[in-house]
Structure 1
């Protein structure tokens, strides 16, 4: 009688144990798949956020450089400029420099604001409301460092993108 009882216990316990192992394995693989999916989603979101920052920075930089080109095309602060002409030609560059500072890292934002201020001072100097030599000094100092600050900002975004995990 002992033999049938052991067989009957085995026939009950074996399927239960197999079912438990199957449930455990299935839940482990489900958890692992969910974890990998969440990690990939997090990495994609990180990269997408940085891509958006870079796109905005490039767009604002383009607007800033376009305004700078328009001003230089106007022939920087002509002696015969009227207030209206200066406002039409210097105003967009001053505004673009202030706007880019909202999207840029501190160094690039500072350089953009310095250029905006230099253009403002240059405009005032052309209307004889500010010293011309001082104005030219601020213009030369601020314009030269903008490009390196811009590319440093782009490199910083690339480094952040690579660190996305």
Structure 2
């Protein structure tokens, strides 16, 4: 009888261990899948915001006759991919990440509305872009805080592109050849 009870106890303990291990493994997989979906959504936001910056820069370079106040002007930009990126981050990301993505979108609106109405010049682009880039940098730092194993300190820049007031943007040959022998 004692052997029977010991055997049943061992079987039940084994089954309990398998069940607990299965539950823990399932939870870990769900967390990993959620983490991966958030990473993918964040990457999509960055990719599509970069594409929108390129499109806005091109549109800003095509200056037409400025539209009068109050007139609705048709856009030449395709917002579908950007809106899909926002929808995805809305579905899968933490609240702070979603709010940071919405802040990028909020910066796109006034820039786009001014550009499509012809109310900007090429000289305005660095200022307009800087506001969007600042929100993109905030987005990256927030996403890193939530998603990176060890995010480290906040990033101070997203690219190596020199600031708008850097001498490189004067396009003088002397700047590029000054360091050469």
Normalised TM-score (structure 2):
0.58
The structure where helix makes up a greater share of residues is 1
Task: Classify the secondary structure of the residue corresponding to 1:78.
Answer: coil
Ranges in structure 1 where 5+ consecutive residues have no aligned partner? 1-15, 160-165
What secondary structure is seen at the aligned counterpart in 1 of 2:63?
coil
> Which one of the candidate residues 134, 148, 154 is aligned to 2:137?
148
**Contact 2:59-2:116 within 8 A present in 1 as well:** no
| Cα distance in structure 2, aligned partners of 1:58 and 1:74 | 24
Q: Could you say which residue in structure 1 is the equivalent of 2:147?
A: 157
Q: What is the Cα deviation at residue 28 of structure 1?
A: 0.9
The alignment's C-alpha RMSD in Å is: 3.5
**Would you say 1:92 and 2:92 are equivalent positions?**
no
Q: Secondary structure, in 3 states, of the residue corresponding to 2:43? A: helix
* Count of residues paired in the alignment: 135
8 Å contact kept, 1:101–1:112: no
- CA separation in 2, counterparts of 1:59 and 1:28? 46
Q: 2:37 aligns with which of 52, 63, 68?
A: 52
1:23 aligns with 2:8: yes
- Mapped to 2, the partners of 1:99 and 1:141 lie a distance apart of 21
3-state SS, counterpart of residue 144 of structure 1: helix
Higher radius of gyration, 1 or 2: 1
Q: TM-score, normalised by structure 1?
A: 0.63
Once the two structures are TM-superposed, the CA of residue 39 in structure 1 deviates from its matched residue by 0.4
